[in-house]
Each structure stands twice: as C-alpha cells, then as structure tokens.
C-alpha cells in the first residue's frame, strides 16, 4: 500500500541539514547527507552486530563513545564494506575534512562519518564530499 507523503521543508532549531546527489546511486537521486548541530549534541547510535563491519561503522563506533557529536555524514546506495585500511583512512579523513570545514574541535572528533565517501581518493579531493560541504576546488 502506498501512502501519500507531503514534501515540505522542516526546520529544527539548532540543526542544519544538507543532501546532495554525488553519483553513488545510478538513479541520480540524493545519496549523501550532512546533519549539523549548532552545538555539540547528545548522540546515540545503533550499529550492526555482525562480526565483519565496514570501515565507517568502526569509525562511527569510536566517534560515538563520547556520547556527543556535532556533525554526521551519511550515504545511501553503498555499504563501503571490505575496504580494509584504505577504507578506515578514508572514513577518518572524511570526518577530519567535515570537522575542519565546519570549524569543529578536532578531539574528541565532533564529526562522524557513519558512511564514508564512495571515491577511492582522499576526501579533500572528493567531488561528493566537497559538494556536500559547499567547498570549492
């Protein structure tokens, strides 16, 4: 059964949201999002219980330990699994780029990549992360 949903902007005081189509989904629909709180916010998360976890999940588990976050990057259409050390580095670098661009404190990391960028190069040069943050090349 399909339910009609009215699309409208929702404003939540103290939070900002951004979503862009970065080419992860073949359909061209939005596939990367950024959620930012004006101040560090209480944060909780639920993660997979699988023994094998994608790099962004491992990084996300580390980020959430403080119970406070100010930014979260998520994607849709790609699991980013089985990427080993390059995937961990990319997830951490994505967090660092988001945190640096938004002027967030470095430690404890206030920006968390729940899902890292699809591209195999560093996020500083990644068109999808740069586009999401509105950073010029």
Supply the range of the domain harboring residue 73.
Answer: 15-133
10 assigned to some structural domain: no
Cis check for the bond before 108: say yes or no (omega within 30 of 0).
yes
9 assigned to some structural domain: no
For 32-91, the pLDDT digits (tens) are: 888 899 988 898 888 889 888 888 888 888 888 888 889 888 888 776 777 788 888 888
Measured CA to CA, the distance from residue 43 to residue 57 in angstroms comes to 15
114 assigned to some structural domain: yes
Number of domains comprising the chain? 1
pTM: 0.73
User: Among 6-15, 32-41, 83-92, 121-130, which is the least confidently predicted range?
Assistant: 121-130
Q: What is the CATH number of the domain that holds 55?
A: 3.60.70.12
137: tokens are 């090349």
């Amino acid at each position: 059964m399909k339910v009609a949903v009215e699309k409208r902007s929702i404003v939540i005081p103290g939070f900002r949201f951004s979503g862009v189509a970065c080419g992860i989904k073949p359909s061209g629909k939005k596939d990367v999002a950024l959620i930012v709180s004006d101040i560090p916010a209480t944060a909780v998360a639920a993660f997979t219980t699988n023994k094998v976890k994608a790099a962004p999940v491992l990084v996300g588990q580390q980020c959430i330990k403080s119970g406070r976050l100010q930014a979260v990057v998520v994607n849709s259409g790609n699991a980013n699994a089985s990427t080993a050390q390059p995937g961990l580095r990319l997830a951490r670098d994505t967090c660092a780029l988001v945190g640096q661009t938004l002027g967030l404190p470095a430690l404890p990391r206030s920006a968390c990549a729940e899902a890292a960028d699809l591209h195999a190069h560093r996020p500083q040069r990644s068109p999808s992360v740069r586009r999401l943050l509105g950073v010029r090349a």
